Structure 1
Amino acid sequence: MKLFPYAHATHPQWRMAAGLVLAQLRAQLALPDYASTPTLALLYITDHYASAAQDILDHLSGELPEVTDWSGTVGVGIAANNVEYFDEPAMAVMLLGLPAHQYRVFSGVAPLGMAFEAHTALVHADGNTQDLSELVAEMAGRTDTGYLFGGLASSRGSTVQFATGGNGNIKGHGGARGVFHGGLSGVAFTQDVALSSRVTQGCQPIAPERSVTACEGNVVTALDGEPALQVLLGDLGVSLAEPREALGRVRATLAGLRSAPSEGDSVRRPGSFGPDVRVRHIIGLDPAREGVAIAETLEVGMRLSFCQRNAQAARADLVRVCAEIREELEPEDMPAEAALALSNNLAASAPHPARRMAGAIYVSCASRGGAHFGGPSAELQIVRHALGDVPLVGFFAGGEIARHHLYGYTGVLTVFTATD
């Protein structure tokens, strides 16, 4: 599998940005190490361009007629290799060099058919969709692995998704032209498309994990048999006798949830969250029941850890998942020339066949980004430094999707891999 051509640009006028993107793509399409005849494109735009979404898709697809399938969405920020665009008009495109029979674009009005055997799927979703968690779980159930990756569109204006295939319309779309609002859309992949995906957390537990021993709906009333509100206040070292201080600390606190552990669960690293933890907001206190209201329906047996956002922990975890992917993909035994190239500081960021990375998608929480990591584009610079110079696009989401769960304050990194 060859490298996926990709491009990104910012400009107040979308046509100028599109021109810059097209120039970059055409230059890469002519290079021997890049895919020359891709038919699938991912398109991400910032919300500055949301009102022109249909015009942008029409223009790009018209200029790249050989690309017959498009998928993507809008974000308050978008990402590319080593750079992120926040609060500015920008777009990013990646052309995936995959055979047409190995993927299928889908949307809410053209769901996956039974004839296509989906192994995994990239999913874009509208956070305002009713029963979204159930829809995500249902979509995961349509894949062999149950593994989804992607996120919720984020926008200060129109929330749009791109989904078009073949001659411009997917069967079932009717007169739709590829831009949609609401529901789910994305690309499903067969088992022939090899990829490696990881979830990186952005929060750190501030207290031991406890078991939910009593709850009503979304209100946990007991943790390890103790009143949940008292447990929370004790973990934070505050008292309702001083409500201003207590409420200030509670507002800065979140709840990390995971399902009841079962035999064979992986061992968690002390002081950190694993990929099975979903971080949710604390949305209220219930002194009458000594309960804590969480933004998710709870069940007895769930595990809960009170946590807070932590930039240092987020940085360390991001480096960890990138290192895991590199170690997974780079063979233990390789020619001396390849090993030398990968160990050379000057060449370490250059694409190399030994890395077996054709392209990557990174979906990060809209509350992360460079500002959280210390400076403009800092998060994507960490990814490049740890992963190498791989073609990458993505967006900053209103919620992240991995496996069959919705996450918050996380990043989901997925790398398309080539054969040995």
Structure 2
Amino acid sequence: CRPIGTPLVVTKAEDNMLVELGGRPAFVQLRAIYETLDDHDKQLVKNSLHVGRVASEYQDHFEAGDFLVRNVVGADPETGVVAVGDLIRTGQTVQFHVRDAHTAHEDLQTLLTRQTQKRPAGAIIFTCNGRGRRLFSTPSHDAACLQQLLGPLPVAGFFAQGEIGPIGRTNCLHGFTASIALFEAAE
């Protein structure tokens, strides 16, 4: 997912409801961000809006990988509340995100390119069922990207509805992600 707008402090929350962000109703903040977006991103907000909450507040600057991203499950313009698929606490830092194929592809390429081990002997890939043809125009996008950057190598895996992976130093359950385990050859 790609962040939109700026990080905001949750000034009022109730369970999974964002009530206020930065002292203003959450929906008002979202609408203000929406008005700054181009037409493409406005469409993504309508179909692929998420909220990322910072995994570790102990830093001065937040980047895309610092957020645990969750679905926006609803919004009420009258009350100003935005409902999120996670518990939210007052005082947390959040940022709205959108999900798009281009960013997902770039993120996967960046992570695979950073892979500094020797060439892997094989891999297991766990890809969200919200990826594949639902996100990309071709089937098996993530496996093909893995083969292109690190292959050829044997790959097994499956689609899931939740993938485990790190955010900072904490392992979390993610959605709309790909988790990959790379194996070294036996010596």
Q: Structure 2 length as normaliser, TM-score?
A: 0.82
| Residue 20 of structure 2: aligned partner | 222
> Counterpart of 2:57 in 1: which secondary structure?
coil
| Residue 261 of structure 1: aligned partner | 57
Q: Distance in 1 between matches of 2:123 and 2:99?
A: 26
Q: Is the 8 A contact 2:123 2:182 kept in 1?
A: yes
% identical aligned pairs: 32
Aligned with 2:9 (options 204, 211, 233): 211
Amino acid at match of 2:113: A
List per-residue Cα deviations over 1:164-183 (Å, max 9, x = no partner). xxxxxxxxxxxxxxxxxxxx
Q: Distance in 1 between matches of 2:9 and 2:56?
A: 8
Q: Distance in 2 between matches of 1:394 and 1:388?
A: 15
| Residue 382 of structure 1: aligned partner | 145
Q: Is the 8 A contact 1:258 1:277 kept in 2?
A: yes
Rg comparison, structure with higher value: 1
List per-residue Cα deviations over 1:277-313 (Å, max 9, x = no partner). 2222212224454221111111123222212111111
| Residue 179 of structure 2: aligned partner | 412
List per-residue Cα deviations over 1:142-166 (Å, max 9, x = no partner). xxxxxxxxxxxxxxxxxxxxxxxxx
Amino acid at match of 1:412: S
List per-residue Cα deviations over 1:110-148 (Å, max 9, x = no partner). xxxxxxxxxxxxxxxxxxxxxxxxxxxxxxxxxxxxxxx
Q: Is the 8 A contact 1:208 1:305 kept in 2?
A: yes
Does residue 125 of structure 2 align to residue 329 of structure 1?
no
Q: Distance in 2 between matches of 1:390 and 1:222?
A: 49
Q: Is the 8 A contact 1:256 1:306 kept in 2?
A: yes
Q: Is the 8 A contact 2:10 2:91 kept in 1?
A: yes
Q: Is the 8 A contact 2:27 2:77 kept in 1?
A: yes
Q: Distance in 1 between matches of 2:129 and 2:176?
A: 8
Q: Distance in 2 between matches of 1:219 and 1:260?
A: 20
Residues 266, 227 of structure 1: alpha-carbon distance in 2 compared, 3 angstrom cutoff: closer
Aligned with 1:367 (options 130, 142, 149): 130
CA RMSD, Structure 1 to Structure 2 (Å):
2.7
Amino acid at match of 1:316: E
Which residues of structure 2 form unaligned runs of 5+?
A: 37-41
Q: Distance in 2 between matches of 1:267 and 1:298?
A: 18
How many Å apart are 1:221 and its aligned residue?
A: 1.3
Aligned with 2:165 (options 360, 377, 402): 402
Q: Distance in 2 between matches of 1:376 and 1:317?
A: 18
| Residue 104 of structure 2: aligned partner | 314
> Counterpart of 2:159 in 1: which secondary structure?
strand
Residues 379, 233 of structure 1: alpha-carbon distance in 2 compared, 3 angstrom cutoff: same
* More relative contact order, 1 or 2 (CA 8 Å, 6+ apart): 2
Q: Is the 8 A contact 2:18 2:82 kept in 1?
A: yes
> Counterpart of 2:109 in 1: which secondary structure?
helix
Aligned length: 178
How many Å apart are 1:251 and its aligned residue?
A: 4.5
Amino acid at match of 2:18: V
How many Å apart are 1:236 and its aligned residue?
A: 1.4
Amino acid at match of 2:4: I
Does residue 42 of structure 2 align to residue 279 of structure 1?
no
How many Å apart are 1:362 and its aligned residue?
A: 0.9
Residues 214, 367 of structure 1: alpha-carbon distance in 2 compared, 3 angstrom cutoff: same
Amino acid at match of 2:21: L
Which structure's residues are more often strand, by fraction?
Answer: 2
How many Å apart are 1:259 and its aligned residue?
A: 2.8
| Residue 48 of structure 2: aligned partner | 252
Q: Structure 1 length as normaliser, TM-score?
A: 0.39
How many Å apart are 1:398 and its aligned residue?
A: 0.8
Amino acid at match of 1:398: Q
Q: Is the 8 A contact 2:163 2:177 kept in 1?
A: yes
Amino acid at match of 2:54: R
Amino acid at match of 1:209: P
Alignment of 1:11-410 (within 5 A): 203-237=1-35, 249-263=45-59, 268=63, 273-274=64-65, 276-287=66-77, 289-325=79-115, 328-330=116-118, 355=119, 357-370=120-133, 372-403=135-166, 404-410=171-177
Q: Distance in 2 between matches of 1:223 and 1:387?
A: 42
Q: Distance in 2 between matches of 1:218 and 1:267?
A: 22
